[in-house]
Structure 1
């Protein structure tokens, strides 16, 4: 994945408006639904039952199609409210998650920790050996698994490459936030700690337990996940339910809470490879500037997000019991860094229930 995980984010630094509350008048109180692990069955919920505005649906879908989307889903309490496909994409077509898949790495790291295979406070070299960077041994041994989860390794972020020659000292671990591909070393940590390949451990501990499909594809230095839209939605539903699938604990709530809270005091809008909305400030990839306000000011303040290149999205909104998925090509082909896709998209989603 390139370091530009979400092409629209830079535009948000120019937006001065804020939204104190985007919650609907009432939060759904029915029980959470989980689709069967196999087959195509999935319960739905009508807009009428939710008392949502039917007239707001078509403008939302028109905007999504205009912005090169391939699929879009909204779940409320696990039930499908909207499921739409565009531009010859189908419910059975796999598409890449790009950097939205970083959250899968975060989750697997948490699972490995709860199984006693690793401790995120330990140095990375304890699992994959020394010499994985070009730093001195003393500098390298400062870098913990938590530093990789929180993007505070201190390594030079001017390149996406993660070979030792490219992993060069920039600052002491924990003192600098910089979006960096080096997080992929966590996959090596998990593989070494578990004694399995990354993909086998992922399939056994996460994919198969929540009924996802999909595969990991090697693209350059990156292992990129591809799946159907519903599989992405299943993962969003797991995280909406704080790591539990029905009554089965996949990821313990303690790690979930850490992962979806501010992980360091530099970029308040970042957890463990999750983006966090509603914080007082945030940083962007490839920038050391602090931007005031929320990452997506039109979105719910309690929303946490998996954001990937070309606008791959998982939005999880606990206050609304809602998961929103968007897959597709880049929303804007020109001036990508100034796109306001997320801002406008959430204005149109808000119109459904306001």
Structure 2
């Protein structure tokens, strides 16, 4: 019996020693997130990524290019982690060609207003007349005083849009429709007057302030040019991609805060009022329960681009000028060109149609 007990004890000791020398099971690890790439501020260097290395469908990518040609596209770019995965120019359009942003430039204005606020030059909760003076509209003063800079950013000024020219910024064109904050309507005139708000608050021309605070700091080219009452940005396609990359990185460029106010940036890319859930500060938001469209006061169910990722936000302009930003996939997609179909302001059926094609290309 003593011998048996001894053998059992020795066996247990041997098993214990063996267990103690075994290697522990490896801890599961998540793949490292690639470092975000930023092209140099000067020069034409921009690193690329082969779409095949991302396991994207290159056959469908070629089909996408054919589709883009059929939709009057002049230029198209996809960035992943800041690097160029796709860059194509069609017809006589080249990387150096200049094109208009139309209302996609509104989102840049939205960011510039945030920069002016962080510098203490203005407060978006102040009434607009503090920066434009009394009588900038033809409304009774009490009604005019209800309009704030924030209302201009969110398309909730309450100004009458059913006028002969809703781009007109003269006081005679700016008439009372509803109290500010009670009605959403895509109205160019009060947006355009944000230029004057920034100029009067900063003491600089709009172009000068924009160049100093955004354009030159991230290596864009381009210029704001007056066209009638409107102020429209013109640049090459890569400049549009640079701004999209800035938006993807929440107002920061390669470690430098262009817009340091994170609260403002978050407000810009999230629902800004309860009337149109798909609108932030001059920025369109996908994935919301409802959306409204320019030129109508109707509320539509669902998001404006169901084929696109729900977290996408976008700068959208007339004739399908597009900057799509997808934080979850670290993507920026740019499209410049003539109208892809029906001439529409900002949001169009092309948004959802294009993302239907992109879904077949991009693996996410």
Q: TM-score, normalised by structure 1?
A: 0.90
Question: Are 2:208 and 1:200 aligned?
Answer: yes
Could you tell me which of 133, 136, 140 is aligned with 2:140?
Answer: 136
Greater mean deviation of Cα atoms: 334-343 or 135-144: 334-343
Q: What is the deviation of 1:348?
A: 1.1
- d(CA) in 1 for partners of 2:169, 2:187: 9
C-alpha change, 1:61 and 1:340, in structure 2 (3 Å) is same
2:49 aligned partner:
45
* Bigger Cα Rg: 2
**Is the aligned partner of 1:216 residue 2:224?**
yes
In structure 1, what is the equivalent of residue 155 of structure 2? Answer: 151
Residues 191/33 of structure 1: CA separation in 2 closer, same or farther (3 Å cut): same
What SS does the aligned partner of 1:83 have?
strand
Shift of 1:286: 1.6
| CA distance in 2 between partners of 1:348 and 1:32 (Å) | 25
Write the deviation string for residues 253-275 of structure 1: whole angstroms up to 9, x where unpaired: 22110000000000000000000
Please give the alpha-carbon distance, in whole angstroms, between the structure 1 residues aligned to 2:266 and 2:339.
Answer: 31
Alignment of 1:254-293 (within 5 A): 254-293=263-302
Q: Please give the per-residue CA displacement for 1:193-213, whole angstroms capped at 9, x wherever unaligned.
A: 101111100000000000000
Whole-Å separation in 2 of the counterparts to 1:337 and 1:131 = 30
Give unpaired runs (5+ residues) of structure 1. 1-25
Q: Give the structure 1 partner of residue 254 of structure 2.
A: 246
Cα contact 1:97–1:224 (8 A) shared by 2 = yes
Q: 2:343, 2:231 → 1: CA distance? A: 27
Distance 1:55 1:113, change over 3 A: same
Structure-2 residue corresponding to 1:117? 121
Q: C-alpha displacement at 1:353, in angstroms?
A: 2.6
CA distance in 2, matches of 1:332, 1:69: 11
Cα distance in structure 2, aligned partners of 1:84 and 1:57: 11
Of 196, 203, 212, which aligns to 1:188? 196
Residue 328 (structure 1) shift: 0.0
SS at match of 1:45: coil
Higher relative contact order (CA 8 A, sep 6+): 1
Q: Which residue of 2 aligns with 1:173?
A: 180
How many residues align structurally? 329
Q: Cα RMSD over matched residues?
A: 1.7
CA distance in 2, matches of 1:92, 1:42: 14
The TM-score with structure 2 as length reference comes to: 0.88
Pick closer, same or farther for the CA change 1:335–1:266 going to 2, 3 Å: closer
Structure 1 residue 338: Cα displacement: 11
1:67-78 paired onto structure 2 within 5 Å: 67-78=71-82
Cα pair 1:154 1:177 within 8 Å, conserved: yes
- Aligned match of 2:320: 311
Report the 3-state secondary structure (helix = DSSP H, G, I; strand = E; otherwise coil) of the residue aligned with 2:193.
helix
In structure 2, the CA distance between the partners of 1:235 and 1:308, relative to structure 1 (3 Å rule), is same
Matched, 1:228 2:232: no
Q: Partners in 2 of 1:204 and 1:49 — Cα distance?
A: 38
Q: Which residue of 2 aligns with 1:55?
A: 59
Aligned residue in 1 for 2:338:
329
Deviations 1:82-141 (A, max 9, x none): 000012100000100000000111011000000010000000011111100000111001
SS of equivalent residue, structure 2 residue 77: strand
Aligned to 1:16: none
Residues 28 and 77, structure 1, Cα contact 8 Å, conserved in 2: no
Q: Which moved more, 1:237-246 or 1:46-55?
A: 46-55
SS state at 2:358 partner: helix
